Amino acid sequence: MKSSLATRLLGFAVACSVAGGIAPAHSQESKPWEKIPIPALREFKPQEPKRIELKNGIVIFLQEDHELPFVSGSVLIPGGARDEDASKAGLVDLYGQTWRTSGTAKMTGDAMDDMLEAKAAHIESGGGEDSTSVSWDSLKGDADQVLSMALDLLFHPKFDEQKLRLAKQQLATAIVRRNDDEAEIAGREAAKLVYGADSPYARQPELATIRGVALADLQAWHDKTLGYKLIVSVGGDFDSAAMEAKLRAALEGLPPAKQMPQRHDEFHAPKQALYFINKEDVNQSNVQIVGLGTVRRNPDVPALAVMNDILGGGFASRLFQTVRTKLGLAYAVGGGFGFAYDHPATFDVEVLTQSATTVKATRAALDVIGGLDASPFTDEELKRAKDDILNSFLFRYDTKEKVLAESVRLEFYGYPADYLETYEVALKKVTLADVAAAAKKYIHAEQVAVLVVGNASEMKPGLEELKLGPVHPIDISIPGAPTGGPQGGENQQ
């Protein structure tokens, strides 16, 4: 495997040197890298972790790896920011920060810091869109003690008012400065165009919403979510039988796990329209061409994955070759049709270009997207795209730690344990007809919105030349922010 990988990397390095313009003068006549034999990849068969389901519904994954004397683990808990009350948006973020820094009834967060630092170990807590978690890592010799501390934090947190106040200050600073970076602005506002500003998948914390979060809210959140189905994973240098016994002793006494309430979100593709955010302190534009994606359970996902790679998946993609290489209109360009595990993701093509070439670059990207039907896919594109995706498995799941994380993810979203293997088989079976059908079914120019974040004074010609209808300015001012604070510039073109 090592020699095979080295061969691929050598070939890639040579190809990159040519693309970067540093190849010798005779490179056009002689291409020795094309003569390097590339052996077939080994069969994709990741080593699955041991799965244990307790009578109360809690699931444990154990993945032994004795290469290094480390042990790491996590507890994944259903329920995240999309489930919080909109009037207290930011609660899960504050909860994730305050949980660990507060500590437990036995040990304050500061005392925990000191002990863990002395052992070069870590315990962290966090909150995301659909879950919260506690994670830990340590040397093998300290594994039992650190695991005990992590479980104590899981079951007996003692939320501290001072730590909550500090977390609020940090989050308030992030809110006030959220318009500093055009990429952050573009990503945030593009999500609102797809899902809606009030959607749990796009809403954002404000100074007023985090101000209303109290210590009792954190404890109530913890008490509620701890009763859902926990997924515990441990990987590293340990004995599975001994670790299973420890975890059973800690978890089997818990009551039966409650079912997470089903979500009933509604999703609608945006209508074609043009939106603009003026940011006067930049000399380039961030363009987002967005629409509604799909879910990973969709049987068309393998064909969509191949289509994505052809459309905007890398240096050889149509977007890159046209907008950047041939026309020289973008620093970077790419993207495609997204698929999330339990809700529709977004279709998103990003173009980074100079202010003066904003209109040309955006039009060129739209033409490539809209021209998928008119320009048939080729056998060469199909083969390259499949190779790109299948070869990426080598790096995405090349360690036991990554395979363990994927197993937890599949369990969390209710996918079969062999999903990766069946996905690989489905990818290999994708045909040109499948890709063409996917493009025709899912890529609709009239169902994408275009968002431009850039400096209006440097855009010549103006965005009206795109002929996508009126330019809709977006207000990104921050409610309650101090006068003169970062607001991201004016918002009129």
Q: Is the pLDDT of residue 422 over 50?
A: yes
- Is pLDDT above 90 for 230? yes
Q: What is the pLDDT of residue 373?
A: 79
HEC per residue, 325-381 = HHCCCCCEEEEEECEECCCCCEEEEEEEEEHHHHHHHHHHHHHHHHCCCCCCCCHHH
Whether residue 372 is predicted with pLDDT greater than 60 in this model: the reply is: yes
Is the pLDDT at 90 greater than 50? The verdict is yes
**pLDDT band at 10, cuts 50/70/90?**
very low
* Euclidean distance between CA atoms 284 and 320, whole angstroms: 18
Give pLDDT, residue 25. Answer: 46
- Please write the tens of the pLDDT for every residue from 118-138: 999 999 999 999 999 999 999
Which pLDDT value is given to residue 483?
65
Amino acid 42: pLDDT:
65
pLDDT digits (tens, 9 = 90+) for 29-68: 567 877 888 777 666 667 889 999 999 999 999 999 999 9
Query: Over 80: is that where the pLDDT of 109 sits?
Result: yes
Complete domains list, the chain, with CATH:
2-35 (no CATH), 73-234 (3.30.830.10), 273-473 (3.30.830.10)
Q: Kindly tell me if the per-residue pLDDT of 487 is higher than 70.
A: no
Residue 477: band (very low, low, confident or very high) from pLDDT cuts 50, 70, 90: very high
Evaluate if residue 27 carries a pLDDT over 80: no
Mean pLDDT score of the chain: 91
| Lowest-confidence pick of 324-333, 454-463, 470-479, 481-490 | 481-490
**pLDDT at 439 exceeding the cut of 60:** yes
Q: What is the pLDDT of residues 214-225, one digit of tens each?
A: 999 999 999 999
pLDDT number for residue 369:
95
pLDDT reading at 7 higher than 50? no
Tell me which of 121-130, 167-176, 344-353, 371-380 is least confident.
Answer: 371-380
pLDDT of residue 31: 75
pLDDT in tens, 303-356: 999 999 999 998 999 999 999 999 999 999 999 999 999 999 999 999 999 999
Q: What percent of the chain clears pLDDT 90, i.e. is strictly above it?
A: 83
pLDDT of residue 263: 93
Is residue 383's pLDDT more than 80? yes
Question: Binning pLDDT at 50, 70 and 90, where does residue 160 land?
Answer: very high
Instruction: Say if pTM beats, i.e. exceeds, 0.85.
Output: yes
What is the Cα–Cα distance from 94 to 101, expressed in whole angstroms?
A: 11
At 274, the pLDDT band (50, 70, 90 cuts) reads very high
- Antiparallel, parallel or unpaired: β 471-473 and 273-278: parallel
pLDDT of residue 443: 93
Query: According to the model, what pLDDT value does residue 259 have?
Result: 92
Q: Are 449 and 272 in contact (CB under 8 A)?
A: yes
324 φ, ψ (degrees, to nearest 5): -95, -55
